[in-house]
Structure 1
Amino acid sequence: MPGRRSLLAATITLPSLALPARAQGGFPSRPIRVLVAFAPGGQSDTVIRLLAPKLSEALGQPLVVENRPGAGGSIAGGAVAQAPADGHTLLFDSFGFLIVPFLVKGLTYNHDKAFAPVAQAVSAPYVLVVRKGFPARTLAEYVDYARKNPGLAYGTPGTGTVGHLAGALLASRAKVQLEHIPYRGGPESARDIAAGNLDSAIGTANSFRPLIEDGRAIGIALTSGRRMGSLASLPTIAESGYPGFDLTSWNAMFAPAATPAPVIAKLEAAMRTALQDETVQKRLKDAGNEPNFEGAAAFADRIRRERAVVKQIVQETGIKPE
Structure 2
Amino acid sequence: MPGRRATLAALGGTLLAGRAAAQAFPDRPIRIVAPYAAGGQSDTVIRLLAPKMSEFLGQPLVIENRTGAGGSIGAGVVAQAPPDGYTLLFESFAFLVVPFIVKGLTFSYETAFAPVGQAVALPYVLVVRKDFPASDLAGFVAHARAHPGVSYGTPGIGTPGHLAGALLESRAGIRLEHVPYRGGAESARDLAAGSIDAAIGTANTFGPLVQDGRIRGIALTSAERRGSLSGLPTIAESGFPGFDITSWNGLFAPSGTPAPVLARLEAALAHATGDAETRQRLALTGNEAVTESAAAFAARIRRERPVVRQIVEQTGIRAD
The TM-score bracket by the shorter chain reads 0.7 to 0.9
Pick closer, same or farther for the CA change 1:102–1:25 going to 2, 3 Å. same
Give the residue type in structure 1 aligned to 2:239: G
Per-residue CA deviation, residues 60-79 of structure 1 (Å, 9 max, x unaligned), is 22223334444443233222
- CA–CA separation in structure 1 for the residues paired with 2:50 and 2:158: 26
Q: How many angstroms apart in 2 are the aligned matches of 1:18 and 1:310?
A: 41
2:297 pairs, out of 289, 299, 306, with: 299
Unaligned runs of 5+ in 2: 1-10
Scaled by the length of structure 1, the TM-score of the pair is 0.85
CA contact (8 A) 2:90 2:250 kept: yes
The Cα shift of 1:119 comes to 0.5
Q: Partners in 2 of 1:15 and 1:115 — Cα distance?
A: 26
Q: Distance in 1 between matches of 2:255 and 2:287?
A: 27
| 2:316 partner amino acid | I
**Cα distance in 1 for residues equivalent to 2:261 and 2:205:** 33
Deviation at 1:49, TM superposition (A): 2.2
- The aligned amino acid for 2:274 is Q
Which residue does 2:8 correspond to in 1?
A: none
The CA deviation at 1:201 is 1.9
| Structure 1 residue 54, shift from structure 2 partner | 0.7
Work out the CA distance in 2 between the residues paired with 1:106 and 1:295: 32
Distance in structure 2 (CA, Å) of the matches to 1:71 and 1:149: 34
Query: Given that residues 41 and 187 in structure 1 are in contact (C-alpha distance below 8 angstroms), is that contact kept between their aligned partners in structure 2?
Result: no
Aligned with residue 77 of structure 1, among 72, 75, 78: 75
Cross-structure match for 1:50 = 48
Q: Distance in 2 between matches of 1:184 and 1:82?
A: 28
Q: Equivalent residues in 2 for 1:1-322 (5 A)?
A: 19-315=17-313, 317-322=314-319
| One-letter amino acid of the structure 2 residue matched with residue 318 of structure 1 | T
User: Normalised by the size of structure 2, how large is the TM-score?
Assistant: 0.85
Partner secondary structure for residue 64 of structure 1: strand
Aligned length: 310
Residue 126 (structure 1) shift: 0.9
Q: Is the 8 A contact 1:71 1:158 kept in 2?
A: no
Deviation for aligned residue 1:170: 0.3
Equivalent-residue separation in structure 1 for 2:203 and 2:178 (angstroms): 19
Which secondary structure does the structure 2 equivalent of 1:288 belong to? coil
1:230–1:289 CA contact under 8 A, matched in 2: no
Query: Is 1:96–1:160's contact at 8 Å kept on the other side of the alignment?
Result: yes
Contact 1:42 1:207 in 2 (8 A): no
How big is the shift at 1:307? 1.4
- Post-superposition Cα deviations, 1:102-128, rounded to whole Å, max 9, x if no partner, equal 223332321211111000122232111
Structure 1 residue 97, shift from structure 2 partner? 1.5
The Cα shift of 1:195 comes to: 4.5
Conserved 8 A contact 1:70-1:184: no
Cα-to-partner distance string for 1:161-182 (whole Å, 9 max, x where unaligned): 2212111000111111122233
What CA RMSD, in Å, does the superposition of the two structures yield over aligned residues? Answer: 2.7
Q: Deviations over 1:136-171 (max 9, x none)?
A: 332223223323443333222333222121110001
Secondary structure of 1:56 counterpart: helix
Task: Using the TM superposition, give the Cα deviation of residue 26 of structure 1 relative to its aligned residue in structure 2, in angstroms.
Answer: 3.4
